[in-house]
Amino acid sequence: MKIELTFNYNLELHDCKLDNLVFAFKQLIPALLSAFIAAVLRQFAERLLGNTAVSGPSGEEQPFNCSRCGAQTLIWKTRASRTVTTKLTTCMGSATVPQMQVQCKKCGRKEYIVRRLLDMPAYSRMSERTEHQLALCGSLTSFRVGEVFSRVYGAFHSRSTIWRCLQKVGKLMSFSISPKERGVGQADGTGIPIRGIAKRGKELKVLIQENKPATAKMTGSR
């Protein structure tokens, strides 16, 4: 599906120094990202409610049904709400998108469809990929430094957000020794302290297993 997008923004610049231009562009990112997401969702939603189908991962058409009764009789209630918005968190910062609401003609159920179109769980603000990116950031450095780096590149993610992503992703991971590699490994401390435990002074540790070509492979951390 081809999407046609047009954006108009008015900027007031006093010079054309590179640093000032980059700074001005970073200020535009939240508004530009929000407008981009809203425009794409609106065009996809128009197609879905017109054809009641959408291309899935395999390229096949999949029905867009009522989440309660499964009927393909959805009609528009609100194409772009002026009062109800959805706040999303991305690797480039926050985006605010107007909610879109539909109603089933068969059972009468009303539902917002922005997160459904974005393939995100209800009430979530962050995609799984963004969670993994922030978890990786939190695993490589301290949470405070991760927060600072996010500001440097135009976004803002608090250290508590990075910490929550790291905890969520970490709970889904299982570490083990690979039987296909060499039975040789090394354990070392990272210097990153672990907080919230009974004993102070402990730090995050990593276990590195050697591959058969005599290279290192990280197999776990704790």
Give the model confidence (pLDDT) of 71-90 as tens digits.
888 899 999 998 999 999 99
- In this prediction the pTM is 0.73
Give the model confidence (pLDDT) of 142-175 as tens digits.
889 999 988 888 888 999 999 999 889 988 877 6
3-state secondary structure of 221: strand
CA atoms within 13 A on the CB side of 92: 14
Q: Domain locations in the chain? A: 18-124, 126-173, 175-222
25-31 contacts, C-beta under 8 A, 24 or more apart: 26/154, 29/92, 29/93, 29/154, 29/155, 30/93, 30/94, 30/95, 30/96
3-state secondary structure of 78: strand
